[in-house]
A and B are shown apart, each in its own frame.
Chain A
Amino acid sequence: MSDVGLTPYLIVAAVLFVCGIVCMATKRNAIGVLMGVELVLNGANLNLIAFSRYGQLGFDGQAIAMFVIVLAAAEAAVALAIVLNFYNNHLTVDVDQARQLNS
């Protein structure tokens, strides 16, 4: 199998990053926003692993990626609790309904 080099990985990661940011900015559904965050985190993971593989940098990148994966799981767990609570109060997960606090 021919090796494609570092650049394609970085491009895919950048596409994931941009998709994630657009998703966070445009989705009004709280779960949708969380999916955007996951896309950005996975873009970062892809970067880390690609750098680690092609840069002769040892296993540091893989180690960071493992930590990021675990953190994403922890954040998802907290996220579900928070979104459920929000749903109990507002009967929707539309973040635009969160506009009671204003000057």
Chain B
Amino acid sequence: MSHESIRTAVQLILPECILIGTVCVMFLTGPFLLGRNGQASPGLRHRWGALALLAIGAAAWQWWHTTPVAAIDGPFLSDGLSFTIRGIVLALGAVLVLAAWNQLDDRTSAECNACLLALLAGVNLTAAANDIITLFLGLELVSIPTYLLLYLPTRSRPAQEATIKYFLLSLFSSAMLVYGLALLYGATGTTMLPEIVELLKATSLTESPLLLIAAPLIAAGLGFRITAVPFHFYAPDVFQGVPAFMAALLSFIPKVVGFTALWRLTALTSRAAAESADAVSTYMASVLAVLAVLTMFIGNLMALRQSNLHRLLAYSSVAHGGYMLVGLLAGGGSSGVPGGAALLFYLAAYGFMTIGAFCILLAARRSGDSIRTIDELAGLGSSQPLAALVLSVFLFSLAGLPPTAGFLGKFNLFLAAWSSGVSGTRWLAVILAMNAAISAWYYLRLIGVMYLQSPQPSTADAPTRNLPAWIATAVCVAGTLGLFLVPQAVWDAALLATQ
């Protein structure tokens, strides 16, 4: 690799270079700002949070000045997909920094903010990957900071239990993914993703037994990240044990990387139809279709019987993973709404609504922890009208009701699946609609609890408002309503990615 080609490669990932540079500064200077006994001066977290926001701002500025170009030969590419994913991830990354702000303590805030930035860079690198190696490294650059973020902020028993569960299962899935990618490399003989995708469409299963083993391993490795059933079972336990900002992060970031990697590896979203009925890509599509149906039904049915809000939102996140899989599967069609664009639009909408829901649960309490059980929601409509109204907006959006982004997102997914012309996706569209109806029950029940039940005797709360969490909530409300009222810009970007 010549000096020139390294420079071209770096040019393509400048936003990530800014993020990683800031991460290095934070990791290296963080320990020196602590006192001799390991104590930090109060308020240190504000400075680290501000620095993280500044870095995201600089990366976003750099991102805005890139122009998507068609695929090239090299480890990275900067096409429509990576442009759109970068935009979504940087915007919601800033929201996550705000949500985490007051849940971090001053001692570990440098490391936690650094991990958050590293993880955002990892998502963007996954989106910019043009090669198995960069794809895999991007995925791991998301996983490893996630482990650190799980165990650094709180040392409590439930948080540690959630950490070890997530950690062991995530390692397990990464190991399966590596093994699957190794077999994929052996079967196709190249590490470049565009060539692999071509071969997957042209090769039939009987020709290559290695691919027959590789496909389920890759589906399992990535299925863990998008919480597809049967790889979802860690989600409720982990969400219950971790602080609210981590639950928000885990419901969104792994989904983005998982779907981006599936997009790159399976090319289900490209318009050209598969060559033959027994091509490997068709086989992967049918595996994923089964996962999608299971994921939607099990996620929604299990959510019906939850009384803990974090667990409920965990199952809701499982169900939404299923909806997005429908979008991915509808992408191969030759007519109608492009499924890939519907998927990306839904990812943006889902990010705003799920992160917003966790943010308002956090902001409504002044004690620093979030509202965790349904009983605590009772009477929120009279005790905190603003928080109840905002949470209702997010719940409406999650249920897929207008006037919110969730409605438009689900409608697009439904249209894409109905009109794609691929056999079987019409059934997926019908199942999606059924599941949207089931899910409305448990979301609307929460609104009923907030407005119709009498409030509990209020507990003594700390006198300060969690201002950063409120700002994050405000951004999410703006996103959720904005994507319904003026969706055109995001939809255009999503369409650009499918070309």
Residues of chain A at the chain B interface (Cβ within 8 Å): 17, 20, 24, 30, 33-34, 37, 40-41, 43-45, 47-48, 50-51, 55, 57, 60-61, 63-64, 67-68, 71, 74-75, 78-79, 81-83, 85-86, 88-90, 95, 98-103
Contact = CB atoms under 8 A, between A and B. Distances in A.
A70 B478 CA distance: 42
Nearest to A76: B171
Interface of B: 132-133, 136-137, 140, 144, 147-148, 151, 155-158, 160-165, 167-168, 171-172, 174-176, 178-179, 181-183, 185-186, 189-191, 236-238, 240-241, 305-308, 311
A57 B189 contact: yes
Nearest to B163: A82
A101 B155 contact: no
B144 A85 contact: no
B155 A89 contact: yes
A78 B163 CA distance: 11
Contact of A98 (B164, B190, B306): B164
A40 B175 CA distance: 6
B182 A63 contact: no
A102 B49 CA distance: 33
Contacts of B161: 86, 89-90, 98-101
Contacts of B179: 17, 40, 43-44, 47
Given A63-B133, A64-B133, A64-B191, A86 B164 contact: yes
B185 A82 contact: no
Given A57-B189, A90-B161, A95-B168, 17 more contacts: A33-B171, A34-B171, A40-B178, A44-B175, A44-B179, A51-B182, A57-B185, A57-B190, A64-B182, A67-B137, A78-B144, A82-B163, A85-B155, A90-B160, A98-B165, A101-B165, A101-B237
Given A60-B191, A78-B147, A86 B182 contact: no
Contacts of A45: 182
17 contacts: A30-B168, A41-B175, A51-B182, A55-B189, A67-B133, A67-B136, A71-B137, A78-B147, A78-B167, A85-B155, A85-B160, A89-B160, A89-B161, A90-B157, A100-B157, A101-B161, A103-B307
A90 B161 CA distance: 9
A88 B161 CA distance: 12
Contacts of A81: 151
Contacts of A47: 179, 182-183, 186
Contacts of A101: 158, 161-162, 165, 237-238, 240-241
Contacts of B136: 64, 67
Nearest first, the 7 closest Cβ-Cβ pairs linking A and B are: A51-B186, A40-B175, A47-B182, A101-B237, A98-B161, A44-B182, A44-B179
A97 to B, nearest CB: 8
Contacts of A79: 167, 171
Contacts of A99: 161
A82 B164 contact: yes
Contacts of A78: 144, 147-148, 167
Contact of B164 (A20, A60, A83, A102): A83
Given A40-B178, A75-B144, A100-B157, A85 B186 contact: no
Which of A24, A33, A44 has most B Cβ within 10 Å? Answer: A44
B151 A82 contact: yes
A24 B178 CA distance: 16
Given A51-B185, A82-B167, A103 B236 contact: yes
Contacts, number: 122
A79 to B, nearest CB: 7
B396 to A, nearest CB: 26
Contacts of A64: 132-133, 136, 181-182, 185, 191
A76 to B, nearest CB: 10
B168 A86 contact: no
Which of B132, B160, B311 has most A Cβ within 10 Å? Answer: B160
A74 B17 CA distance: 20
A39 to B, nearest CB: 9
B317 to A, nearest CB: 16
A69 to B, nearest CB: 11
A50 to B, nearest CB: 8
B325 to A, nearest CB: 25
Contacts of B148: 78
Contacts of A50: 186
A37 B132 contact: no
Nearest to B236: A103
A64 B75 CA distance: 13
A45 B160 CA distance: 31
A85 B156 CA distance: 10
Given A64-B133, A64-B191, A98-B161, A20 B175 contact: yes
Which of A30, A41, A101, A102 has most B Cβ within 10 Å? Answer: A101
Contacts of A63: 133
Nearest to B179: A44
A102 B81 CA distance: 38
B30 to A, nearest CB: 16
Contacts of B168: 24, 30, 33-34, 95
A64 to B, nearest CB: 5
B186 A100 contact: no
A51 B161 CA distance: 39
Which of B136, B161, B175 has most A Cβ within 10 Å? Answer: B175
A82 B163 CA distance: 8
A4 B400 CA distance: 59
